[in-house]
Structure formats: structure tokens, C-alpha cells
């Protein structure tokens, strides 16, 4: 009677596992269809589908004890777990998980399925449980590596995968302790039930937190778009104000000379290419701590913090001139055009805000325009805070 009760409990838990996995796959696919930025949601859903179908074959195996059904159940479960492993790699690295899923699937199937098909079900169960544990532990590891993106959620996901993965080890250990090369049907013991209880409890949590990760990435993507100039990929004005941390800085404001004439003569497409070349010049010439932004139209800003001994006003002047020179070279080499830029530079000692510094740099820039363009003008007196 106790044995029958345990088998009934295992069957009920198995059904709950399959149902949870199926529901998870539907929810993840629906979430992916709403926002297709994060393809790891779809990969995770595919893994859940495979596990749900594998659970169905496990139920058939329990009813018939036919080795081919057991082999199919393990095969689907292992490929599903390999797909979840691929999901973790896709999330952490952003690359296609296809090769990782294929390799993990082939290795786990190669050690598990042949013994079961040959009737050595005891051997197959031990190896299958071991392969399942390995896949789940590797999944936990790859989520753990990506924990900086959202520490609380990702550590929790890694912890659930770790816990479920470890639960497969007692299942393998008990089969080994009661060693029989051939087992008539599904093993039935406390470790089997405990493992399925953990799986049933973990699936909703993993699903909810996986969707939360997608939402976090979506919010960050939208924020990044709001702070990025769509043409050049540089910061926009809003991002520049958020990123600038105060202190002594050199602020240079650039303006491409006669840019309207470029658009009118050569078309806006070529004008856009000229803007991209100036952005490239900024990227090539800026220092690691510099902030580069497109303020609007053909105006660009470069903020050079003066927080280290080598970050001097003279170095800021050299960098501004290097940007102008590099832009002229790129325009000639890439577009066959003679393009120049004017610039205004102001040195701030930290007593004035960025708005005041940009206004002063703008006045110096227009002085450069009035003096004939294609030059840099240094503001004579840095602005100070109003009393």
C-alpha cells in the first residue's frame, strides 16, 4: 500500500511538473510576442515545451515500462534542459545559443539514451540524472556570471537552477545504492518525489523572474534610446547633462562649417554621412573619461574632466584641435569633400554649472565663426555661478 501511495504521489507530481512547464511555455511565448527584443524568452519557452512533452512520455513509460518510451522521455527532457542551458548563455552573452544547445544535447543523449534502449535502464537512469544535474548546474553558473545586470533577480534564478540541479544527485545516488543494471520501470523513492516537488515549486519562480529580466532590459533599452542620438549613437543633450558630474572641466562646442550648404548641394543623405564622420572623429580623439554628445543639428560637445594631473587645459586644447583635424581628414578620405569645423572652448573650475559652461562655449564658437570659421576660440573668462 505504501509503495502504491508513493507511485501515486510521483505520478501526481509528474503531472504537475508537465502542467507547470506547459503553462510556462505559453506565458513566455506570449511575453516574447509582445516584445521581441529579448529572444532568450523564446529559447526558454522552447525548453519548457520539450520538458512538458518529455513529462508526457515519462507518464507513458511509468504505465508500460517500455525502454523506448523511457529513452524518448529522457531524450526530450535532456534536450529541454540543454535548451534552458542555451537560454542562460544567450542571456549572459547575447549570442545565438544554437551551438551550445546542440553540443550539450548530443553529449547528454550519447551517454543516456543508448543504455536505456539496450535495456540497461538502471545505468541509463544514473547517467540521465547525472546529465540533468550537470546541465542545470551549468545553467545556474551562466546566470550567476551575468548577475551584475540585475543582482537580486539573477542570483535568485541561479539559486533555483542550482537547487533543482542538486536534487537530481540523490536520485542518482539511490539508484546506485540499490544497484541493478536493469530496473523494472520508474524508480520510486523519497528522492524522486523531493526532486519533483522542487521542480514544481521552481518553475513558476523561474518563469516570473525570467519575464522580469526581459522587462528590466526593455526599460533600459527605452531609456538608452531616450539618451542616445539616433543617427550618430553619441549621447544627446539630456544624457550629457545626466552624465556630467561637476568639478573642473574643459567644455568644447563644435559646429560643422557651412553644413546647410552641404545638405542643399549634396543632399541630406550625404549630410548625414558627414555628421557620422564628425562623430567618428570625436570617438577617435576623446580620452577614456571624456563625454561626447551631439547637441543638435550639426553641433557637438566634448567635455574633458580636469580631474587628473595629465588632464590639463592645454591637453583639452590639443584634443579639440585633434578632433577638427581628424574630421577634415575623414571627410576628404571618405567623402572627397573639404569640410571644416569651428569650435569654442571654455575652462570651468567647478563653480559654474554645465548650462553656463555650454553657453560660454557657444559664445566662443560664434566668435570663431565671425573670425572666418575653421578655427578654435578659447573663452576669455570662465563663467561663475550667479550670486
Which residues are part of the catalytic machinery? 298
Give the dihedral of Cα atoms 262, 265, 266, 270; nearest 10 deg: 20
Positive or negative, the CA dihedral 278, 283, 285, 289 is positive
Length of the chain (residues)? 387
Amino acid at each position: 500500500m505504501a509503495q502504491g501511495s508513493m507511485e501515486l504521489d510521483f505520478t501526481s507530481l509528474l503531472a504537475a511538473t508537465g502542467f507547470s512547464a506547459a503553462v510556462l511555455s505559453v506565458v513566455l511565448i506570449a511575453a516574447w510576442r509582445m516584445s521581441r527584443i529579448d529572444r532568450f524568452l523564446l529559447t526558454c519557452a522552447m525548453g519548457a515545451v520539450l520538458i512538458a512533452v518529455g513529462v508526457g512520455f515519462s507518464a507513458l513509460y511509468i504505465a508500460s515500462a517500455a525502454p523506448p518510451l523511457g529513452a524518448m522521455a529522457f531524450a526530450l527532457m535532456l534536450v529541454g534542459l540543454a535548451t534552458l542551458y542555451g537560454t542562460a548563455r544567450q542571456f549572459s552573452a547575447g549570442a545565438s545559443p544554437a551551438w551550445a544547445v546542440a553540443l550539450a544535447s548530443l553529449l547528454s543523449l550519447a551517454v543516456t539514451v543508448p543504455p536505456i534502449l539496450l535495456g540497461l535502464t538502471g545505468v541509463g537512469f544514473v547517467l540521465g540524472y547525472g546529465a540533468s544535474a550537470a546541465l542545470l548546474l551549468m545553467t545556474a553558473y551562466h546566470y550567476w556570471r551575468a548577475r551584475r545586470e540585475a543582482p537580486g533577480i539573477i542570483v535568485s534564478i541561479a539559486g533555483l537552477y542550482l537547487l533543482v540541479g542538486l536534487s537530481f544527485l540523490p536520485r542518482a545516488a539511490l539508484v546506485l545504492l540499490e544497484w541493478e543494471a536493469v530496473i523494472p520501470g520508474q524508480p520510486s523513492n523519497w528522492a524522486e518525489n523531493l526532486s519533483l516537488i522542487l521542480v514544481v515549486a521552481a518553475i513558476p519562480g523561474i518563469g516570473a523572474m525570467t519575464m522580469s529580466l526581459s522587462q528590466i532590459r526593455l526599460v533600459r533599452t527605452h531609456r538608452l534610446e531616450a539618451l542616445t542620438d539616433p543617427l550618430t549613437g553619441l549621447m544627446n543633450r539630456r544624457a550629457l547633462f545626466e552624465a556630467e558630474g561637476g568639478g573642473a572641466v574643459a567644455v568644447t562646442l563644435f559646429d560643422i562649417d557651412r553644413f546647410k550648404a552641404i545638405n542643399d548641394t549634396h543632399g541630406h543623405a550625404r549630410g548625414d554621412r558627414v555628421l557620422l564622420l564628425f562623430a567618428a572623429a570625436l570617438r577617435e580623439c576623446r580620452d577614456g573619461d571624456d563625454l561626447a554628445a551631439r547637441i543638435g543639428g550639426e553641433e557637438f560637445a566634448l567635455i574633458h574632466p580636469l580631474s587628473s594631473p595629465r588632464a590639463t587645459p592645454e591637453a583639452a586644447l590639443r584634443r579639440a584641435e585633434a578632433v577638427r583635424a581628424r574630421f577634415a581628414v575623414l571627410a576628404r578620405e571618405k567623402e572627397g569633400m573639404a569640410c571644416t569645423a569651428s569650435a569654442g572652448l571654455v575652462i570651468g573650475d567647478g563653480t559654474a554649472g554645465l548650462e553656463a559652461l555650454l553657453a560660454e562655449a557657444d559664445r566662443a564658437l560664434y566668435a570663431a565663426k565671425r573670425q572666418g570659421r575653421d578655427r578654435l576660440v578659447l573663452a576669455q573668462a570662465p563663467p561663475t555661478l550667479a550670486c
